[in-house]
Structure formats: structure tokens, C-alpha cells
Amino acid sequence: MSWPILLTFFYCLAIVLGSLAGGCLPGWLRLTHTRMQLLLSFVGGLMLGVGLFHLLPHGIAEAGNVDLVILWTMAGLLVMFFLIRVFDFHQHTVATGEGKNTDSTHSHHPQHKHSHESKHSMSWIGVALGLSLHTLIDGVALGAAVVVDASHAGQQPFYGFAIFLAIFLHKPLDAMSITSLMSVGSWSATSRQLVNLGFAAMCPLGAALVFMGFDNSSANSHNWIGCALGFSAGTFLCISLSDLLPELHFHRHDRLKLSAALLLGVCLAYGIGLIEPGHLHEHSHPTHHPHAPGDVEEHHHEHH
């Protein structure tokens, strides 16, 4: 088994374990409203930085076509936007089974405050479905990032680490949303964990789709990977902004703390980029890429 595939396996295993742990968080500890907001601001800043500092430039460098990758970035942003609109899933709520939420409730809209007042026990299904599609796209982003970094092997061993970190830190919050709503619906702990496991498994599935569909000898393989990275950048931007922008309207308290957490997340994303090979951001891939990654620079000069 090659190192990129093995590394992706360990990444996905960590994400699955993180998701399972996130599903258990409501029963383990009490997340206050302020702690939840600080965590969301930090992770939102990290995802924003990963989208702009890593996914988008890597996609452009891989495809060698700015307009094409930006088009796919817009597609990713709109797809995620409409997924959120249809399934109403992007909310992070710690609910209790006693008919009321704790003060750690995080909702992107005021009307979401009454999620615990659902009149039926199936309200979690839309959330789980929407978040599962979101996680599948995250898996594609992770697999594509590992493929790109591995094609520039020899500089650093942890391919796609920034994308992994952003997904790893965000999945527990998503899992917590699902299990909290299921808890309100009086579902058993076993049922909650089974659903949570199925949700977490979508990330490895997305990564596997990339490795199964990637053929380095194909003329269009790098275009395909570049577009996948652009699409993933759009989804990261949409998710991060849906976490961050409501702070401007609904959470005027603790503004300095929340701003510091946001900047810390962005700086972490940027800092990870400093240890990446510099040529990952160069426009070095032509439309047709019949040779190995080591021949990139030769083709680059031919185009100029």
C-alpha cells in the first residue's frame, strides 16, 4: 500500500473517531455558549484559511486554468448553500432531553432556537442527510489534496494536512448536531451512535472515490483534481462563512475573544502553508499531462 493511501486511511480513521467522540460530547461535558462560539470562530477561521490559502491555489496550480477552477469554486459554494437551504442542517446545537436547550446552543438563525420543540422524533433526518453529503464532499477534498501533495513528493510527508485538520476539528461539531437532535427525539444511545458512524463513514467514502477515479496517466487527471479542489474550496468558504457571519448580528458579546479565535484559525491555516513546498502554488500543470509529476517544469517552460 502506497504512503498517500495509507496516510489518507489514518486521516479518515482520525476523522471517524473524532466524529464519534463529537456525538458523545453532550453527555460528557457541558459546553457553554461562549465556549461553543469560540470554538466555532476558531474552526470557521481555519476553514476559511484552508479554502483560500490551500484548496483554491492548489486547484489553480493543478489545473493550470484560473477561470475553470473559479467556476468550480462558485459551483461548490452554491451547491453547499442550497444544501443548507434545503436540508437546514448547518446548526450546532447541544440539546437536552428535558425540553430545553442548554446555554451552549448555536443556531445560525433566530428561528432555529426552537429545534428542541420538534413535534416529531424524525427531525434529525434532514440534518443527518445534509451533513452526510457535506462530509462526502469533505472526503473528496481530503483525497484530492493528498493526491496533489503526493505528486510533489519529497518535501514533506504529511500530505493534505491542512485540509485534514480543518475537517477533523469541524466533524465533532456536526456529529454533535445530529446526536443532540436524536436525543431530543428520545432515540437510544445505540441508535445515535449507529447513525453517527454512518455519517462519519461518508468522509472515507469521498476520499476513496478520488483514489479510485484518479489515473495519473490520463491527460485530464490534473484538470479533474484541480476542479475537485476548486469545488471543495467553495464548500469550505460557504461552511466557514455560515459559521462566522451570524456572529456579526446575533452575538455582539465577547467580540474581542471571538475575533481573536477567528484570527488564530486563519493564522494557523496560513502557517501550515509555510511548511508546504513552494511549487505547490505554481501554475505548472498544462491541460494535457502525459508524463510523470517530475516532468512538470519542462512542460511549464514549453508553454512559455
Give the confidence band of 102 by pLDDT, cuts at 50, 70, 90.
very low
Ramachandran angles phi, psi of 101, nearest 5°: -90, 155
> Is 299 or 166 the better-scoring residue by pLDDT?
166
- Give 22's contacts (C-beta < 8 A, 6+ positions apart): 171, 172, 173, 174, 175, 176, 179, 196
| pLDDT at 78 (0 to 100) | 96
> Is 215 or 64 the better-scoring residue by pLDDT?
64
Average the pLDDT over 269-274 and give the result.
86
| pLDDT at 40 (0 to 100) | 86
| pLDDT at 20 (0 to 100) | 86
| pLDDT at 301 (0 to 100) | 43
| pLDDT at 148 (0 to 100) | 84
117: pLDDT strictly greater than 70: no
Tens digits of per-residue pLDDT, 204-255? 999 999 888 766 656 577 888 899 999 999 999 999 998 888 877 766 677 8
Tens digits of per-residue pLDDT, 147-166? 888 876 555 677 889 999 99
